[in-house]
Structure 1
Amino acid sequence: MTNIVPLTSTKHSNINVKDSSNYHRFTKEHIIPVVIREIITLASEFPIVFIKNAKTEEFMPVAMMGLKNGINLYCQSELWTAPIKPLGFNNAPLSLMKSDPSSDDVMICIDEDSDLVSSSEGQPLFTISGEQSDYLKQRANALLDMAAWTQQTSVICQYLAEKDLLSPQQLTVKLDSAENNINIGGIYMVNDETINNLSNELLIELKEKGLLSVIYAHRASIHQIPRLIAKQNAFDANSK
C-alpha cells in the first residue's frame, strides 16, 4: 500500500530518505517501463519490447523481468544482483505530480508509508531552517530529468508507430516445469522484415534522430530471453 502526499517542509521537516538496493516492491511486476535513453544499456541484461496501452493506444518500451504475470524474477529477494537496473527504480519514495490538471506546474510528493522513509536513518530532505537539502535538490532534479525523458519516450514511440515500425509479436518459450510451450503475446517489436524494407530516406532519418542504434539494441535484447528462461526454471525448482 502507498500513501502519497505532497512534500512540504512543514509536515516533513524531520523526514529522512534511505538509499537502498532492495527493489522487492517490484516483485509482482514482470515488465518495467523504461525510457528510450536507457534501452541501449538495459539491452545487455533484459529483453526490451514495446507494449500498447489498450485505452490510449500509446506505445511504451518495457524491460521484461519475468515470463509469467506477477513474477519479477529479479526482485524476489532483497538483494539486487544484476549489474544494471532501470532508472525508474531510483525514484521511490519520491514522485512528481501535477499541482493542477490544467497546468504544467508540478510538485514533489512522497510515499509516507514507504520503507525508505525514516525519522532516524538516511538523508534529510530539509535543513534546520526549512530549506530543501542538497540531497532533496538532487533527487528533485533527477525526477524532473526522468519526467522529461518519459515525455521524450512518448514522442519517439508515437513516431515509431506512425512510421509503422512496431509490429505485434508472440514469443514462445519452453520451461522445464511446463508440459506445453508458453506463448507470450501483447508485445510489439521492430522485426527483421521491417528493417530490411526500410527506405533509404527513413533509414537516414532514423540515424539522424539517433534511433537506429536504439532499434538495433532493442532487437538484440531479445537474445536475453534464455536468461529469463534459466531464471524461471530456477525459480520454479526452488518453489517446489
Structure 2
Amino acid sequence: MTNIIPLHNEVHKDIKVSTHNDFSRFKAQHLIPVVVQEFSAMATEFPIVFVKNGDTGQFLPVAMMGLTEGVNLYCQQKDFDSAVLPMNFQTAPFSLTKHNQESDEVTICIDSDSNLISAEGNALFDDKGEQTDFLKQRSQFLIDMVSFSQQTMAITQLFNQKELLITQQLTVKLADKPLTINGLYMIDEKKLNELPNEEFNELRNKGLLPLIYAHLTSIHQINRLAHKQAKTSN
C-alpha cells in the first residue's frame, strides 16, 4: 500500500529517510523498467528485452529478474543479490507529480507509508526548513529520471519505426525441462545489418549502436537466471 502526498517542509520537518538494499517490494515484479542510460551496466547481470503495451503500442525496455511472471529472483530476500542496481529501485519513497497536464511544473511527493521512512535515516529539511543536500540530490535524481525516460521512449520508438523490434520466443532449460517465454521483443540483428547505409549511419551518429549491442549481448544472461532459478528451486 502507498500513501503519496506532496512533500512539505513543515509537515515533514521531522521525517527521515533511510537507504538500504531491501527491495523486497519488487519481489512479485519479474520485469523491471530500465532506461537507455543504464543499458551497459545492467547488461552485465540481466537480460534486457522489450515489452509492448497492448493499449498504446508503445515499447518499453525492461530488465528480466525472473523467468516466470510474479517472481523476481533477486528480491525474495531483504538483501539485493547483485552489485548492479536498477535506477528505478532508487527513486522511492519519492516521486514527481505535475501540477496539471498543461504545466511543466512538478511537485516532489513522498510515500508516507514507505518502510524507508526511519527515525535514523537522512533528514529532508534543516532547522530553517531548507532542503538538505540529501533531499536536493534525490530531487535532482527524480528530474534526471524523467529526462532519461523521455529519451528512452524516443529511442525505443525509433527502433520500432525502423522495424527492428521483433517478437522473440526464449527457451531455457530448467531441471531438464524446457521453459518457453513468450511476449518479449528483441532487436533483430539480421534486419539491423541489412539497414541501408544511411539509416545504419543514423543509428551510429546518434550513439545508439552501443545500446543495441549491449541489449543483444545481455540476452546471454538468461543462463544466469536459469541457474539462479534452479538454485532457488532446490
Which bracket does the TM-score occupy, shorter chain normalised?
over 0.9
Residue type at the aligned position of 2:154: V
Paired residue secondary structure (2:159): helix
More displaced, 97-106 or 14-23? 97-106
Asked whether the equivalents of residues 191 and 219 of structure 1 are also in contact (C-alpha less than 8 Å), the reply is no
d(CA) in 2 for partners of 1:209, 1:38: 17
Aligned to 2:168: 169
Which stretches of structure 1, 4 residues or longer, exceed 3 Å deviation after superposition? none
> What TM-score, normalized to structure 1?
0.94
Aligned to 2:156: 157
> What TM-score, normalized to structure 2?
0.97
Within 5 Å, which residues of 2 pair with 1:197-236?
A: 197-236=194-233
Paired residue secondary structure (1:14): coil
d(CA) in 2 for partners of 1:21, 1:229: 23
Count, aligned residues: 234
Q: How big is the shift at 1:101?
A: 2.4
d(CA) in 2 for partners of 1:133, 1:180: 54
Aligned to 2:186: 189
Aligned to 1:60: 60
Asked whether the equivalents of residues 30 and 64 of structure 1 are also in contact (C-alpha less than 8 Å), the reply is yes
Runs of at least 5 residues in structure 1 that lack an aligned partner in the other structure: none
Aligned to 1:78: 78
Q: How big is the shift at 1:65?
A: 0.3
Paired residue secondary structure (1:174): strand
Give aligned-pair identity as a percent: 50
Aligned to 1:32: 32
d(CA) in 1 for partners of 2:194, 2:126: 58
Aligned to 1:108: 108
RMSD value, Cα: 1.1
Q: How big is the shift at 1:216?
A: 0.6
Q: How big is the shift at 1:195?
A: 2.3
1:9 matched to 2:9:
yes
Q: How big is the shift at 1:113?
A: 0.7
